[in-house]
Amino acid sequence: MREVLPSIAVVGAGDRGTGYAAYVEYAARQGLPGLRIAAIAESDPGRRTGFAERFGVPEAARFSDWRELFAAPRCAEGVIIATRDDEHVEPALAALRAGYTVLLEKPMALSEADCVRLTEAAERAQLPLLVCHVLRYHPFWKTLRGLVAEGAIGEPVSIRHAENVSYWHMAHSYVRGNWRDAAVSPMILAKCCHELDLIVWLARAYADGPLGRGSGLLPRRVASFGSNLEFRPERAPEGAPARCIEGCPAASRCPYDAVALYLTAKPVFLDAAAGDSRAAALAARLLRRRRRSRNSRAQDGPMPSRAGPK
Ligand SMILES: NC(=O)c1ccc[n+]([C@@H]2O[C@H](COP(=O)([O-])OP(=O)(O)OC[C@H]3O[C@@H](n4cnc5c(N)ncnc54)[C@H](O)[C@@H]3O)[C@@H](O)[C@H]2O)c1
């Protein structure tokens, strides 16, 4: 066990940066004393001060820009980079140059060339560069991966995945919010980079395990399609003004009414994420049952051989 626990710097005290810092604080309370937030780089003064006060970051370790943080002598072992999508690559490169282990928010970059730049920089620096593909740690996906690895569904041939962005999430993040400009960060990166990661991760679970040895089963092609059906001017309710706050005749029955959502805080977000782990447990039970019945059928006679060209 290591004697000195890592100190962490955070770049971006927004939603994600603050959330991760809270996990660091939680882990420290749970028996990892010494783990601490050592520095913050945040351009918004209010957010910077609020974050620094909450997590006990000293004055000297509060920076108004990631460039200042990485120009100063290294003050932590690792850094969490939680700026917006189009500001991941440069701070991550600077962090690696400055000798930090990097935990980088997704999408790691907005172009393939930048992804390559980042991995090459991490290799050159011989430092870990981790990307926040958090779904890998979710009980649902962990269970599914275990089942794929142990052959519960046989040899995977293709993986089809629908990213079911809830209506409120779509409206909040991708129509009104930070990710509304698809030219900067299109859905395939802003949201579906998680799916791209999961597809490779699931395929590898089988390919790298004992059952898939030599199968070479890894994604060769990934296809994705979709478009915006709902949020188009021609689908607006009759008489709707340009903005909800201008008095919309459909407000009382509209799930996207900004006044209800943001001013009177009607709790539409609460229906969002319940039941994921229950769904994972149910899927596992169903697959085990199916495997048991397949095995008992197999006792009546051999299963067809899968040998042959792949
Ligand atoms: N892993 C996941 O599941 C997941 C989920 C949601 C969002 N994200 C990603 O996390 C990232 C951050 O999202 P968010 O919602 O926290 O955004 P946010 O806008 O709340 O936070 C970003 C922060 O970075 C600060 N910032 C901007 N320029 C800076 C600079 N030069 N130096 C220092 N700070 C600077 C901003 O002032 C802001 O406070 C995004 O890339 C997003 O796609 C990941």
- Test site for ligand 1: of 15, 16, 187, most ligand atoms within 8 A of the Cβ: 16
Give me ligand 1 centre to Cα 171, in Å. Answer: 18
Lowest mean pLDDT among 68-72, 151-155, 286-290: 286-290
pLDDT digits (tens, 9 = 90+) for 120-179: 999 999 999 999 999 999 999 999 999 999 989 888 888 888 888 888 888 889 998 889
Ramachandran region of residue 236, left (φ > 0), alpha (ψ -120 to 50) or beta?
beta
Ligand 1 atom nearest 178 alpha carbon? 19
Cα–Cα distance, 82 to 78 (Å, whole number): 13
Confidence bin at 181 (pLDDT 50/70/90): confident
Strands of the sheet with 101-104, listed across from one edge: 62-63, 36-41, 7-11, 78-81, 101-104, 129-131
Give me ligand 1 centre to Cα 209, in Å. Answer: 36
Return the CATH number of 7-132, one of 3.20.20.30, 3.20.20.70, 3.40.50.720, 3.40.50.880: 3.40.50.720
Contact 57, 40 (CB under 8 A): yes
> Which protein residue's CA is at the shortest distance from atom 15 of ligand 1?
15
Q: What is the CB < 6 Å shell around ligand 1?
A: 11-17, 41-44, 47, 65-66, 82-85, 87, 105-106, 132, 134, 178
Give me ligand 1 centre to Cα 267, in Å. Answer: 24
Give me ligand 1 centre to Cα 15, in Å. Answer: 7
pLDDT digits (tens, 9 = 90+) for 202-257: 998 888 877 776 566 777 777 777 778 888 999 999 999 999 999 999 998 888 88
> Which protein residue's CA is at the shortest distance from atom 7 of ligand 1?
16
pLDDT of amino acid 185: 83
pLDDT digits (tens, 9 = 90+) for 50-67: 999 999 999 999 999 999
- Test site for ligand 1: of 64, 84, 104, most ligand atoms within 8 A of the Cβ: 84
Every domain of the chain with CATH number 3.40.50.720 lies at 7-132
- Rounded to 5°, the CA angle 174-167-252 comes to 110
Q: What mean pLDDT value characterizes the chain?
A: 84
